[in-house]
Amino acid sequence: MLNLLSILIGLLSLPLIILGWIPLLGWSLWFVLTIPVVGTAVGALSNSNTGRNFNLVLIVLGAIRLFLGGGLI
């Protein structure tokens, strides 16, 4: 059950992370990346790794975008 909740949290944050890839909206990722961090914590409490791994991928995608934009843009 916690794994399904973790996947749902990741699916909720996915469109917001995609929106953060638009130029001049990268700053929003500082706020949006907290959602998959919560999903990762919930996924870590479950027996399966799928939700946790999905949220980790979302965190990496957001972090790459922040790195490319210098953390601001």
What per-residue confidence (pLDDT) applies to 19? 93
Confidence band for 73, pLDDT divided at 50, 70 and 90: low
Which pLDDT belongs to residue 26? 87
Dihedral sign of CA atoms 52, 55, 60, 61 in order: positive
Per the CB < 8 A criterion, the answer to whether 7 and 51 are in contact is yes
pLDDT tens digit sequence for 12-61: 999 999 999 898 888 899 999 999 999 999 999 999 999 999 999 999 99
pTM of the model: 0.90
Q: Which pLDDT score is estimated for 31?
A: 93
